[in-house]
Structure 1
Amino acid sequence: MSMGTQALLIFLLIGLLAGFLASLVVGGGGLIRCLLSGIIGAFVGGFLFNALGISLGIDNALVVQIIHATVGAIIVVLIARAIA
């Protein structure tokens, strides 16, 4: 397995986990909805944390990415519900 494939799989798993955690917080849907909200949330959360200069002070990069993606997924789900 190449590094690109491995990185993509890790990104998808983080997105799926973040979407699942967001669905526990705000109520959720199925597997596809969790995956999509988690992937979009990863971008949103990463952008917001960097733009606002927020640092969690956690040494584990994987945990930080999951937290960023989960917060982003929660925001994405709440915005989608507000629009709908």
Structure 2
Amino acid sequence: MDLGGGVGWIGTLFIGALAGIIADKVMKTNHGLLMNIVIGIVGSYIGAFLANALGIQLGEIFSGWFWGNLIVAAVGAVVLIWLLRLVRGR
């Protein structure tokens, strides 16, 4: 069992929900809990892609995996909502 790398599916749902809620508040949108989880999970992939592309290693900055994953997922979720607004319009 690898506690540092993979968070498991329950951890993924929890971090996704928190990241979606944070992105909801930052972008001043109003999605439901289920949509927040989806936005947070998809946002975590976007955030991880952006962090890797920029060479950012949050695991070295933050001692725990939770905070690094949450920050990456929240930033990715904000980017996702921004991109959706850009495509669909306000």
Q: TM-score range by the shorter chain?
A: 0.7 to 0.9
Consecutive unaligned residues of structure 1, counting only runs of 5 or more, are 1-5
Q: What is the percent sequence identity of the aligned residues? A: 35
Q: Which has the higher helix share?
A: 1
Whether 2:14 is the aligned partner of 1:13: answer: yes
Q: How does 1:49-68 map to 2 (within 5 A)?
A: 49-56=51-58, 57-68=61-72
Aligned residues: 79
What is the distance in 2 between the residues matched to 1:47 and 1:39? 13
What is the distance in 2 between the residues matched to 1:42 and 1:72? 5
CA shift at 1:11, angstroms?
0.6
Q: Which residue of 1 aligns with 2:81?
A: 77
Which TM-score applies when normalising by structure 1?
Answer: 0.87
Consecutive unaligned residues of structure 2, counting only runs of 5 or more, are 1-6
Amino acid paired to 1:18: A
What is the distance in 1 between the residues matched to 2:86 and 2:22? 20
Q: Which runs of 4+ in 1 moved over 4 A?
A: none
Q: How does 1:31-50 map to 2 (within 5 A)?
A: 31-50=33-52
